[in-house]
Structure 1
Amino acid sequence: MKLVSIISLSLAALTVSVTTSSYATDNQRRIDVDSNVVTQHKARINGERFSYTATTGTQPVWDDKGDAVATLQYTYYERDKVDDRTKRPLLISFNGGPGSASVWMHLAYTGPRVLKIDDEGYPIQPYGVKDNPYSVLDVADIVYVNPVNTGYSRVIENEKGELLSKDAQKSMFFGVNADIKYLAEWLNTFVNRNERWRSPKFLIGESYGTTRVSGLAHELQNRQWMYINGVVLVSPTDIGIKRDGPVKAANRLPYFAATAWYHKALSPELQAKDLDELLPEVENFTINKLIPALAKGGFIGDEEKNAIIKQMALYAGVSEKFVQQNNLDIPNNFFWKELLRERGQTLGRLDSRYLGIDKRDAGESPDYWPELTSWLHSFTPAINHYLREELNYKTDIKYNLFGNVHPWDRSNNKTGENLRLAMAQNPYLNVLVQAGYFDGATNYFDAKYTMWQLDPSSKMRDRLSFKGYRSGHMMYLRHADLESSNNDLRDFMLKALPKEGQAAKY
């Protein structure tokens, strides 16, 4: 099936000027290896009205012999009538998982069209999309990339009709370093085809995507000789920077406090404080009191232990007995079940603003994740509708929001150290960390800690920044944070661009 199409989309209605598309006629369910559909659109973003072009397509992944072994589906947005694209940033966007498609940030954060959801991010019917007046498309072109087995991206058959073996697929695609290597090669081809070598380039990744873009910054510079201006880590993982022992246990407390505050589960004195006042207080306690206390283990003195228990209980909104029974180390799943147990409700993992109901109020962890079921409500119909109806990309291949990429090889994860090295090698390279206060999977204080540890020398401290939001893992689902997070991203990219004549040197 070869897809070639040009359509025109106004804000009010879809107008088809030329369209040709066909489904597979050989009874084979497969994606085209190399194809694209081009559509024309208009938008009003950041108060400015302009037209843009969307290209949805596939581009091959080649092996060392030059044979196509997979194809990646992408969507590429370019603002029209740009006089000098060498000065216009290219934002390269990945989600995580591993095994997650690029749908999340594409249809809810930076793209020109976003989900129809309420102001707090909950699904509403009829499902669909609407204009995103906060998208960063006004200042940067954007490409959303789906790694192998996500979205429409797939491993493909060779001339003999054979796929790579499972072992070969794993070694080439499904691991920390394999993922980075083949995606860097793919991006080289994409930049070549779209003539973007001279443009400033930014990488943005969410969740496991932060591992991916941290490694890509180094791989692109050192294997593709493609230098990056900025890396954005949204709800980051540990990127290979360890947070074990007392640090791992203690770093949960600020997230616990934020969540308890949101659900009005704190004492009247703490509840009366604004989150911006409360969290620095909890963070200070965590760094200066809780980590040292946990480091003492079973040899902590009774007086100190009791004082820590009392303060932890106050900040986390749980009983002192609950803290004591967990030896000052409260597992996340216990907290998600315990905080609102008396109300008969459980908390979401990726966004603890979301509430669930279990079969039994007793137990140690929730039956399901209410935030994920809510998101799948919204995203699944929206992305299928959007790609097919608005971008005119039609195929019988199923769009994988979550694809099979396991077992994933997590060994030799040096992505954080490689990001530090990439920054050291490249004086232009800046890093922004974005995180939601109510994210229990990749909590915001872990994100801060990772940023603090990224450059122990502190010599690049002025190129590292953090922004927090009153929402969860996908902080942009809350309308107020959709606006603020895009504004923060826009400001970051513009400030990261070197001044006229500024050389890349120390």
Structure 2
Amino acid sequence: MKHISILLFFTLSLVIVNAQTRKIPVDTFIVTNHSVNIKGQQVSYKASTGTQPVWNKKGEPTATLFYTYYERNNVKNKAERPLVISFNGGPGSASVWMHIAYTGPKVLNIDDEGYPIQPYGVKDNPNSILDVADIVYVNPVNTGYSRLLEDKDGKLPERDNFFGINADIKYLAEWINTFVTRKNRWESPKYIIGESYGGTRVMGLAKELQDNQWMYLNGVILVSPADYKLYNTNQPVYSALNLPYYTAAAWYQKVLPNPLQQKDLLDILPEAENFAINTLMPTLAKGGFVSESEKQNVAEKMAYYSGLSKTSILQHNLDVPTRFFWKELLRNKTGQTIGRLDSRYLGIDRTEAGTSPDYSAELTSWLHSFTPAINYYLREHLKFKTDVKYNMFGDVYPWDRRNDNVREGLRQAMAQNPYLKVLIQSGYYDGATTYFGAKYTMWQVDPSGKLKDRFTFKGYRSGHMMYLRNEDLIKANNDLREFINNSLSNGKAAKY
């Protein structure tokens, strides 16, 4: 006889958990009430966590997405209350990172620089943006507790309806429409925020929401954005965009020449940026036909700005891969590797020889602290209890990268919606989605330059998840508050 435990939640739902099949409920949520002190002010809020279906054209559920929705209590006018819709990236990553480390009302237990400490768990986030906006954290299919659903014949839907740049954007826009309708938030100013691959996702969602859901946004926020248009080119000329990051990482690890090392980071980055765009990129464009003297001069200057040897740079024909940089930078100093997503982190490989690190030191550190925290928090604080595994990373491959037009989609959305503004946040020590690559994406979205006054870029002295460093957690949330407040219409008509 199957053992079935029935949990009666104090909400609209009855959840039946089958311990043998471990199926997630298709359409349910639980409500809990909480309070947190933000910026010296006590904020009372309601947390709704559960699942909402994705529907096919026949009106049948083909997947269910797990979400957590935070609403501030005692808000007199919801029409004036901003709603932030939050995604992480991957693709295939759960919306856990920003949820319990950045914008949400709780943050995980870590030290001030972002390293794991025990006991695992969460604590109040006095910097959360919940004081100025409600937030929903959405987990795409196969991340968190989100799952594909079998039809009546036990067959799963076609994966290409979900796992690709354009498929992802399309079904998530439909899901957002349903969510906004159910929660009665159509009147509210709306924002979408995406971290890493989430940057590609929300650039595309801006146009999809506007064109096919008739939903107009006030803001798009890109956190350490991954721009596939840039990363999929395989053109050596674009490796020049990595150099300012090399400068930042080498400065942090104290391996730059003294004239640079003795200056502040923000004093030397403009030099590296200028060299990357105005000297290195044109030189790389010449390929093997560059003159020997120019090649030697550029390699010497690259060594000056990167902490690498001139010899190793020449051996790579000036096109130094990031993976080699992570392995090489400290090879002759400590013999350690540096982190990909955050080059403040150090790793230990089996051998000092080689061309790339054995593992990502920063990601293993983050999983160390995030995984127990989110599993504990959802179950014990938000009361969502299930035997289904919470996927920090889920199976979303193969991922269809074709027809990537999200840059142009964002431009069109901005051109057609005078309210829409964009904020980009990047960490200087991020070697995967570099801060200078994010700047380059920003420059390329609008070739006309007519929209540039609606873009804001903010940099931080940390890595991919800049908010793990407490000083940047404070600064980055304050930047979000300022952006949200500055992008509200306040009665101004949407016209040029």
- TM-score bracket for this pair, using the shorter chain length: over 0.9
Cα distance in 2 between the residues matched to 1:338 and 1:264: 14
Contact 1:239 1:416 in 2 (8 A): no
- Determine the structure 2 residue equivalent to 1:290: 280
2:169 to 142, 159, 180: 180
**2:25 pairs with 1:32:** yes
**2:77 pairs with 1:84:** yes
Give 1:10-29 correspondences, 5 Å limit.
24-25=17-18, 27-29=20-22
**2:488 pairs with 1:505:** no
- Determine the structure 2 residue equivalent to 1:234: 223
- Determine the structure 2 residue equivalent to 1:221: 210
Q: Post-superposition shift, 1:430?
A: 0.4
- Determine the structure 2 residue equivalent to 1:15: none
Cα distance in 1 between the residues matched to 2:127 and 2:368: 23
**2:243 pairs with 1:253:** yes
Cα distance in 2 between the residues matched to 1:290 and 1:164: 50
**2:485 pairs with 1:481:** no
Aligned residue-pair number: 490
Contact 1:175 1:409 in 2 (8 A): yes
1:334 to 324, 329, 336: 324
Contact 1:4 1:37 in 2 (8 A): no
Contact 1:241 1:416 in 2 (8 A): no
Partner secondary structure for residue 487 of structure 1: helix
Partner secondary structure for residue 97 of structure 2: helix
Inter-CA distance 32–3: structure 2 relative to 1 (3 Å threshold): farther
Cα distance in 2 between the residues matched to 1:445 and 1:363: 27
Cα distance in 2 between the residues matched to 1:429 and 1:172: 29
TM-score (norm 2): 0.96
Q: 5+ unaligned residues in a row in structure 1: which ranges?
A: 7-17
TM-score (norm 1): 0.94
Cα distance in 2 between the residues matched to 1:118 and 1:225: 43
Per-residue CA deviation, residues 9-57 of structure 1 (Å, 9 max, x unaligned), is xxxxxxxxx9998662573310101111100000011221120000001
Partner secondary structure for residue 103 of structure 1: coil
**2:118 pairs with 1:164:** no
Q: Post-superposition shift, 1:324?
A: 1.1
2:90 to 89, 92, 97: 97
Contact 1:235 1:433 in 2 (8 A): yes
1:209 to 172, 175, 198: 198
Q: 5+ unaligned residues in a row in structure 2: which ranges?
A: none
Contact 2:340 2:360 in 1 (8 A): yes
Q: Post-superposition shift, 1:239?
A: 4.9
Contact 2:101 2:107 in 1 (8 A): yes
Q: Post-superposition shift, 1:241?
A: 5.2
Cα distance in 2 between the residues matched to 1:111 and 1:214: 22
Contact 1:5 1:39 in 2 (8 A): no
Q: Post-superposition shift, 1:163?
A: 2.8
Q: Post-superposition shift, 1:164?
A: 2.1
Inter-CA distance 69–306: structure 2 relative to 1 (3 Å threshold): same
1:412 to 403, 408, 421: 403
Contact 1:214 1:239 in 2 (8 A): no
Partner secondary structure for residue 26 of structure 2: coil
Inter-CA distance 105–493: structure 2 relative to 1 (3 Å threshold): same
- Determine the structure 1 residue equivalent to 2:307: 317
1:389 to 380, 404, 409: 380
Superposed CA RMSD: 1.6
- Determine the structure 2 residue equivalent to 1:111: 104
Q: Post-superposition shift, 1:499?
A: 2.4
- Determine the structure 2 residue equivalent to 1:462: 453
Q: Post-superposition shift, 1:431?
A: 0.5
Cα distance in 2 between the residues matched to 1:255 and 1:349: 11
Inter-CA distance 217–102: structure 2 relative to 1 (3 Å threshold): same
**2:413 pairs with 1:422:** yes
Partner secondary structure for residue 388 of structure 2: coil
Inter-CA distance 319–19: structure 2 relative to 1 (3 Å threshold): same
Q: Post-superposition shift, 1:67?
A: 0.6
Per-residue CA deviation, residues 370-408 of structure 1 (Å, 9 max, x unaligned), is 101100100110000000000000001000000001101
2:132 to 116, 130, 139: 139
Inter-CA distance 293–419: structure 2 relative to 1 (3 Å threshold): same
- Determine the structure 1 residue equivalent to 2:443: 452
Q: Post-superposition shift, 1:363?
A: 0.8
Contact 1:92 1:203 in 2 (8 A): yes
The amino acid that maps onto 1:135 is S
Q: Post-superposition shift, 1:328?
A: 0.8
Contact 1:258 1:438 in 2 (8 A): yes
Contact 2:12 2:28 in 1 (8 A): no
Cα distance in 1 between the residues matched to 2:35 and 2:12: 18
Partner secondary structure for residue 116 of structure 2: coil
Contact 1:91 1:142 in 2 (8 A): yes
Cα distance in 1 between the residues matched to 2:240 and 2:15: 56
- Determine the structure 2 residue equivalent to 1:434: 425
Per-residue CA deviation, residues 154-206 of structure 1 (Å, 9 max, x unaligned), is 1112234x1325xx1x2211111111111111111100100000000000001
The amino acid that maps onto 1:382 is A
Per-residue CA deviation, residues 414-459 of structure 1 (Å, 9 max, x unaligned), is 1111011000010000011111111111111100000011101000
Q: Post-superposition shift, 1:301?
A: 2.1
2:36 to 40, 43, 54: 43
Per-residue CA deviation, residues 187-233 of structure 1 (Å, 9 max, x unaligned), is 11100100000000000001111111111110110000010110001
Contact 2:48 2:70 in 1 (8 A): yes
Cα distance in 2 between the residues matched to 1:253 and 1:26: 52
The amino acid that maps onto 2:360 is W
Cα distance in 1 between the residues matched to 2:114 and 2:186: 37
Identity of aligned residues (%): 64
The amino acid that maps onto 2:185 is R
